[in-house]
C-alpha cells in the first residue's frame, strides 16, 4: 500500500507551510468548502471511518450525535494525549506533520460547524506541541485559520492545550475538565459531550489519527477509503509494534492486515531461536491473544471476535523469554498508579491487584490468590465509574486465562522460572 498518512512525515524536519502546500497540503479545504457540512458527514459515514483512538466508534455517527440544530458555540476536541503504553502513532503525526493535523482540524470543524478546535497534547510531547503552535501561527498568517477562511464564510480558532499529565486525561470528559482547569476526573455520561461538553457547549472529540483521515476521504472519495483496507477493514491504519521483535516501529498498512504479517514481516519477527508466547493487539488496556490468533485481521470486529480489542492498533509482543506474570504486573502497576482516584473500586482495587501480583511474581503467592484476582477484576470492572478500570484489568483477566500455568508455576515453585533464563543472557 502506498503511504497516505505518513507520506510526508519527517520527524527531524517537518514540512513548513509552503513545503506542505507544494506537495498538495490544504487542497481538501476547497473540497470541503464546495460542499455543505451535511454532505461531508455523509461521505465520512459512507467511508466507514472508525475511531482510531481505542473505541472504534464510527466517526460519522459520532458527528451526527451533535445534532444539526445544536446551539453555538460548538467545539471540536482533537485528542493527542496518547498515554497508552505501547502506543506512539500520534507522536509521529505531531512531530512529523503538524500542518496535516491543522488541515484535518479545519475540514472536520467545518463539517461540524464548530467555531473552535482544541488540540489536547500529552505533556511529555511539549516540543511537538510547541511546533504545532508555530504551524498554527503560519496557517493564521496565510489566512487558512481565522475569520472567513478563503472567503467561505467559515471562521475558526485552533488552540493547543498541553496536558499536565496523567493517563486519565485521554478520556474525553476528563479531558474536558482538564481544559477547563478542573481536576481531570471523568464526568457522568449523561448529558453527552455532544450536548453539554466543553464550557457546557456541544462538543465532539476525536483522536488525531481519526481526523487526519478526513481530508484524504474528501479528496479521494468514500469508496477509495473502503478499498484501501483488506479483509473487511477500511482505510489506512497506523500500527505500532513493540516488545520482543527485531524491528519495532510504526507501520502504515491497510486496516485488516493480519497480525502475522505485522509481527513477522514488517517488524522483523522474533530473535533467532525464540518462539511467540502471545501478544497484546491494541495497546496496554487490551486482552492478550495467542499464537493461534496470528492470522486474525487487525480490524475492530475480527479482533473483538477473537476476544480482545483493536484499541489503538499497538501490538506488544511477548516471546518465550518473557514472563507473562511479570509483564502483567508491569501493566497493572501502571494502571494502579494512573487511577484518578475518583471511585473506590478503581482507586483501591487496582493497587490491591498489583499487591497480589507482586507476591505471586516473587514466588510468595498462594493458590487461592488466582481465584481472588478473578473475583476482584469482576468487581472492579463492573462497579467503577468510567471505562478506565475495565480496560486496566483486561490484560490481567486475559493473562489468567492464557497463561494460567505460569501463575501456578510461580506459586508451586516459589520462584519465577524466567529469572534464571534472563540471568543467563538469553
Spans of all domains in the chain: 17-227, 234-319, 324-423
CATH tag for 324-423 (out of 1.20.1440.230, 3.40.50.280, 1.10.10.10, 1.20.59.10): 1.20.1440.230
Decide: 350 and 335 in contact? Cβ < 8 Å: yes
Task: Enumerate residues 6+ apart whose C-beta is below 8 A from 248.
Answer: 241, 242, 267
Model confidence at 204, pLDDT cuts 50, 70, 90, reads: very high
Q: Which residues lie across from 317 on neighbouring strands?
A: 243, 279
Q: CB atoms < 10 A from the CB of 205, how many?
A: 25
Contact of 85 with 283, CB cutoff 8 Å? yes
pLDDT of residue 221: 96
**Predicted local distance difference test score (pLDDT) of residue 424:** 33
- pLDDT at position 166 is 85
CATH class of the domain at 234-319: alpha beta
pLDDT digits (tens, 9 = 90+) for 211-261: 999 999 999 999 999 999 999 999 999 999 999 999 999 999 999 999 999
Quickly state the pLDDT bin for 104 (edges 50, 70, 90): very high
Judge whether residue 422 has pLDDT over 50: no
Q: What is the mean pLDDT of the segment spanning 402-409? A: 95
Cis ω before 191 (30° cut-off from 0)? yes
What is the average per-residue pLDDT within 263-275?
A: 96
- What's the confidence (pLDDT) of residue 67? 76
In degrees, rounded to 5, the angle at the alpha carbon of residue 244 between the alpha carbons of residues 241 and 247 is: 55
Q: Residue 420: which pLDDT band, with cuts at 50, 70 and 90?
A: low
- Spatial neighbors of 375 by CB under 8 A, at least 6 apart, are none
Calpha distance 20→101 (Å, rounded): 12
Task: With 0.85 as the threshold, say if the pTM is over it.
Answer: yes
Using pLDDT thresholds of 50, 70 and 90, give the confidence band for residue 369.
very high
Mean pLDDT in residue range 254-273: 97
DSSP labels for 45-73? Answer: HHHT-B-SSSS--BHHHHHHHT-TT--SS
Q: Percentage of residues in the chain with pLDDT exceeding 90?
A: 91
State residue 29 phi and psi, 5-degree precision. Answer: -65, -45
pLDDT at 423: 41
- Give the CATH H-level superfamily of domain 17-227: NADH-ubiquinone oxidoreductase 51kDa subunit (3.40.50.11540)
Helices (H), ranges, 315-423: 324-338, 344-361, 368-383, 388-402, 404-413, 418-423
Which one, of 216, 6, 160, lies nearest residue 92 by Cα?
Answer: 6
Please give the Cα distance from 359 to 345 (Å, whole number): 21
Any idea how long the chain is?
A: 426
What's the mean pLDDT when you consider all of the chain?
Answer: 94
189 or 175, which is more confident? 175
Q: What distances in angstroms separate CA 120 from CA 26, 195, 217, 224, 382, one per listed residue?
A: 22, 20, 24, 30, 29
> What are the cell numbers at 99?
500542518
Calpha distance 358→53 (Å, rounded): 30
Amino acid at each position: 500500500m502506498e503511504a497516505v498518512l505518513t507520506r510526508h512525515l519527517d520527524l527531524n524536519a517537518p514540512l513548513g507551510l509552503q513545503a506542505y502546500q507544494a506537495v498538495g497540503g490544504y487542497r481538501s479545504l476547497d473540497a470541503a468548502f464546495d460542499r455543505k457540512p451535511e454532505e461531508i458527514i455523509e461521505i465520512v459515514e459512507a467511508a466507514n471511518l472508525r475511531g482510531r483512538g481505542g473505541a472504534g466508534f464510527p466517526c460519522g455517527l459520532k458527528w451526527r450525535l451533535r445534532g444539526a440544530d445544536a446551539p453555538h458555540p460548538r467545539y471540536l476536541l482533537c485528542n493527542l494525549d496518547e498515554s497508552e503504553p505501547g502506543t506512539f502513532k500520534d507522536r509521529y503525526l505531531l512531530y512529523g506533520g503538524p500542518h496535516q493535523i491543522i488541515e484535518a482540524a479545519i475540514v472536520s470543524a467545518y463539517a461540524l460547524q464548530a467555531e473552535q478546535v482544541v488540540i489536547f497534547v500529552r505533556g511529555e510531547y511539549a516540543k511537538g506541541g510547541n511546533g504545532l503552535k508555530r504551524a498554527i501561527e503560519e496557517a493564521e498568517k496565510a489566512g487558512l485559520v481565522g475569520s472567513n477562511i478563503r472567503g467561505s464564510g467559515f471562521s475558526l480558532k485552533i488552540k493547543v492545550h498541553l496536558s499536565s499529565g496523567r493517563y486519565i486525561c485521554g478520556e474525553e470528559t476528563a479531558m474536558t475538565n482538564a481544559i477547563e482547569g478542573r481536576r481531570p476526573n471523568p464526568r457522568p455520561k449523561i448529558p453527552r459531550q455532544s450536548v453539554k461538553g466543553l464550557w457546557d457547549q456541544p462538543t465532539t472529540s476525536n483522536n488525531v489519527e481519526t481526523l487526519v483521515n478526513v481530508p484524504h476521504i474528501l479528496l479521494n472519495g468514500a469508496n477509495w477509503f473502503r478499498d484501501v483496507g483488506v479483509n473487511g477493514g477500511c482505510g489506512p491504519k497506523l500500527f505500532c509494534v513493540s516488545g520482543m521483535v527485531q524491528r519495532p516501529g510504526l507501520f502504515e498498512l491497510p486496516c485488516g492486515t493480519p497480525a502475522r504479517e505485522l509481527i513477522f514481516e514488517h517488524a522483523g519477527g522474533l530473535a533467532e531461536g525464540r518462539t511467540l508466547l502471545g501478544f497484546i493487539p491494541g495497546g496496554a488496556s487490551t486482552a492478550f491473544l495467542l499464537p493461534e490468533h496470528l492470522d486474525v485481521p487487525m480490524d475492530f470486529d475480527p479482533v473483538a471476535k477473537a476476544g480482545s480489542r483493536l484499541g489503538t492498533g499497538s501490538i506488544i509482543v511477548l516471546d518465550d523469554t518473557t514472563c507473562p506474570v511479570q509483564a502483567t504486573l508491569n501493566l497493572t502497576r501502571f494502571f494502579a498508579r494512573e487511577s484518578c482516584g475518583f471511585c473506590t473500586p478503581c482507586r483501591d482495587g487496582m493497587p490491591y491487584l498489583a499487591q497480589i501480583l507482586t507476591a505471586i511474581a516473587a514466588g510468595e503467592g498462594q493458590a487461592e490468590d488466582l481465584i481472588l484476582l478473578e473475583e476482584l477484576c469482576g468487581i472492579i470492572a463492573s462497579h467503577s465509574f468510567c471505562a478506565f478500570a475495565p480496560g486496566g484489568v483486561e490484560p490481567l483477566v486475559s493473562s489468567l486465562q492464557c497463561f494460567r500455568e505460569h501463575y501456578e508455576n510461580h506459586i508451586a515453585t516459589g520462584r519465577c522460572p524466567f529469572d534464571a533464563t534472563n540471568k543467563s543472557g538469553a
